[in-house]
Chain A
Amino acid sequence: MDLRPLILALVVSAACGGHDAAPAMGHEARVFAGGVIPPAGGPQVSGNPFRGDRQSAAEGERTFGVMNCDGCHGGGAVGWVGPSLRDGRWRYGGSDGEIFQSIYYGQPHGMPAYGGLLPPGAIWKLVTYLQSLEPPANVPTQSWK
């Protein structure tokens, strides 16, 4: 199907600045969402333009469902076949820029690269959504009576 209308609908703003170089693709092959490889050169990544913005977090939550992120990370990002994204722990770094990179370029073990489908603004809103999630109370200790 043609995904363009969907993607356009997700993008309200894609304001980005800065000149940080995108990392080279890792040696492990990635899966590309929709079979679309992220554009060469990558986006310019500096700060999250939507950091802390509740409206952007809500839009990011919608994208999390529409782009099937919940199919692997679970509803509310609590973890499913993919790891939890709301436990305050990160395999590949939890800064805004590091989360952005994981979504844009994908990660090994099946995390698809979404940079070919989603514009940077939509990815930043996903980052904003994930950063808005509170870790559950039982991290890191669990006890039973």
Chain B
Amino acid sequence: MTRMAVLTLLAVLPAGGAAQRGDWPMPAKDYAATRYSDLSEITGANAGRLRPVWSFSTGVLGGHEGQPLVVEHTMYVVTPYPNVLYAFDLTREGYPLKWKYRPAVDPNATGIACCDAINRGAFYAEGKIVYNLLDGHTVAVAAATGQELWKTRIADLSQGETTPVAPLVVKHRVIVGASGGEFGIHGWLKGLDLETGRIVWTAYNVGPDSEVLAKPRIFKPFYDRGAELGLTSWPADVWKNGGAPVWGWMSYDPDLDLLYYGTGNPAPYNPEQRAGDNKWTASVLARRPEDGTLVWAYQFTPHDGWDYDAASEMILADLVVGGRPRKVLVHFDKNGFAYTMDRATGEVLVAQPFVDVNWAKRVDVATGRPVVDSTKLTGASRGNVKHVCPTLEGGKSPASPAAYSPRTGLFYLATNNMCMDYQATRATRIAGTPFIGANTPYHAGRGGYLGAFIAWDAGVGKKVWQTTEPFPVWSGAVVTAGDVVFYGTLDGWFKAADARTGKVLWRFKVGSGVVGNPITFTGADGRQYVAVYAGIGGDWFLLSGDVRSDDPADVRPPADFMPDIARHTSQGGIVWIFAL
């Protein structure tokens, strides 16, 4: 690791926080969203000796997405609905609880959340644990005592808004968004005051410039010109229920003072109900965290007709691209292309497919637009469009964030090898009910396997290695200075692999499918530990068919595209810690 890289990592620890090297204070460990740790006790030579040292049942069945936090030898775990927050004392034998916080959460949220009652985790800042409850509230809890400090209503369940997203805290701003691309919400990002929870600003992702916070001379998208783009790229009034939810991950560049996040799909899935590009759905937006001002935006999938949310993380790295050192943002989109962009301007430098893609032939970096295959265009008048790759689960799911190692220069990510048929139908917006309008069955892609874990060179846009998996891969990744990368599988294996070759060095069956994101931290004894959740869910609560066992009144047939998944896993909710 270079000295510059060390300085960069130190620079992105939360301002004023007590987090130390070896802690994991925010969802992606750092503001650059690298999920890279400079811990190096676990290496390729010894990873085969990893063993479980502790586990804890959260008491909740359901998709355990997100990741724990570790700050000053306390581990914080947020469960799926009902969003219990546990604080474990890592200095004591058996890691007993210091406290737990049980918020009152409206149970109706579980039926308004499109895709299981998941939570993507908390953020530590200024002695507070800040996270979102599923029913549209943000809470701040005292890290030392578990006392609730404030609770703010940020979203409206009756309009289809739910809030599984993990906040990002920049200085004194808590940045939050809402899900609901399947319920026809009017997507937004909000900035709250860290001390009081007061909503300071609201920035919509579609609509008039005054609501999008796009100001003349400040907002400069690289490829687009003109004002009111969030209105003129829509039919009249349709944007008001046009989606653009915020349910993925956020990152922040302190030098440029830019906050980056991706927006989800336009609503409904039937594109014929919303002529135009539908800006800024399926886009990356760069804003000032202090007041939400929009600085640039780029739309990955104009007029999306395949549910290609752009909610995946925007990883900030310094790479050599075309022979020049560039400050880039790297994004693996649901649409199957990996984008390497200039993060100051929004210019696309490299855009190459990281999985099989057939909805577009390529991305034209001169115009920034995909060259769409017209035979894959969807809509209610076009009937059942067969074999579109990738599926709406994404070439990579935003639910499973990638990791970047400055040592290897590679990005590590879980991918899906699936294609879909897409039959759009006309949908009617009825507040509080789904607003979708498509039936989209899946099938395995080329090669017959459903997923793979891969390493990607974002400087040139090329896959370096891949390990195929029988099922879709839906876990996040963490990579370390020991050149070991960790990920989990849907059938319940947690794996350590050599970051340079992909060779699997060790694996352990964790009791339920992994859809969470592993972390690594330094324990009270100075040793390196690795933690991960087990608990299949998220989209797989909907799609796995028969993995459910907790409700005698809900018995489902196996998923037609992966009939064997329930042979290997059922629902669960376990926190695991491993060490040498």
Contacts and interface: CB of A to CB of B under 8 A. Distances in A.
B568 to A, nearest CB: 10
Contact of A108 (B108, B425, B554): B108
Nearest to A65: B425
A71 B433 contact: yes
Contacts of B427: 68
A142 to B, nearest CB: 6
Contacts of A140: 555
Interface in B75-127: 106-116
A71 B428 contact: no
Given A29-B106, A81-B116, A89 B554 contact: yes
Interface in A92-145: 108-112, 117, 136, 138-140, 142, 144
A47 interface: no
B436 A108 contact: no
B157 interface: yes
A112 B112 CA distance: 9
Nearest to A1: B429
Contact of B542 (A30, A34, A80): A80
B554 A68 contact: no
Interface string B528-552: 0000000000000110011000011
B433 A3 contact: no
Given A66-B428, A142-B566, A112 B556 contact: no
| Residue of B157, B551, B557, B558 contacting most chain A CB atoms (<10 Å) | B557
A49 interface: no
Contact of A109 (B108, B545, B556, B558): B108
A-side interface size class: 35 or more
B542 A81 contact: yes
A17 to B, nearest CB: 29
Nearest to A3: B430
For the residues of B in contact with A, the DSSP-based class is: loop
A79 B553 CA distance: 11
Interface string A61-92: 00001111011101100111111100101110
A68 B434 contact: yes
B108 A30 contact: yes
Contacts of B253: none
Given A71-B435, A91-B553, A138 B558 contact: yes
Interface in B492-551: 541-542, 545-546, 551
Given A1-B429, A111-B111, A144 B567 contact: yes
A138 B557 contact: yes
Contacts of B435: 68, 71
Contact of A117 (B106, B430, B439): B430
Nearest to A74: B542
Contacts of B541: 81
A33 interface: yes
A34 B564 CA distance: 39
Nearest to B557: A136
Contacts of A112: 111, 432-433
Contact of A81 (B115, B157, B425): B115
A3 B433 CA distance: 13
Contacts of B430: 3, 33-34, 67-68, 117
Interface string B429-447: 1111111100100000000
B158 interface: yes
Nearest to A32: B432
Interface string B264-288: 0000000000000000000000000
B364 to A, nearest CB: 35
Contact of A1 (B111, B115, B428, B558): B428
A84 B546 CA distance: 11
Q: Which of B158, B564, B566 has the most CB of A within 10 A?
A: B158
Of B182, B425, B432, B545, most A-chain CB atoms within 10 Å? B432
A83 B553 CA distance: 8
A6 interface: yes
A31 B555 contact: no
A28 B107 contact: yes
Among the interface residues B111, B436, B566, which one has the most CB atoms of the partner chain A within 10 A? B111
Contact of A110 (B111, B116, B567): B111
B428 A6 contact: yes
B458 to A, nearest CB: 34
A43 B84 CA distance: 40
B554 A79 contact: yes
A136 B429 CA distance: 31
Given A35-B431, A67-B430, A79-B554, A109 B107 contact: yes
A83 B434 contact: no
Contacts of B551: 83, 91
B566 A31 contact: no
A96 to B, nearest CB: 17
B110 A83 contact: no
Given A68-B427, A72-B434, A136-B557, A108 B107 contact: yes
Contacts of A68: 427-428, 430, 433-436
Contact of B114 (A65, A81, A142): A81
Contacts of A6: 428
Contact of A84 (B107, B432, B436, B556): B556
Contacts of A34: 430-433
Contacts of B113: 81, 110
Given A109-B108, A110-B109, A71 B554 contact: no
Contacts of B432: 31-35, 112
B367 to A, nearest CB: 35
B436 A71 contact: yes
Interface of B: 106-116, 157-158, 182, 425, 427-436, 439, 541-542, 545-546, 551-558, 564, 566-567
Given A1-B428, A31-B158, A35-B431, 8 more contacts: A33-B431, A33-B433, A65-B425, A78-B557, A79-B556, A112-B433, A138-B546, A138-B557
Interface of A: 1, 3, 6, 28-35, 65-68, 70-72, 74-75, 78-84, 87, 89-91, 108-112, 117, 136, 138-140, 142, 144
6 contacts: A84-B556, A90-B553, A108-B108, A109-B108, A136-B557, A139-B555
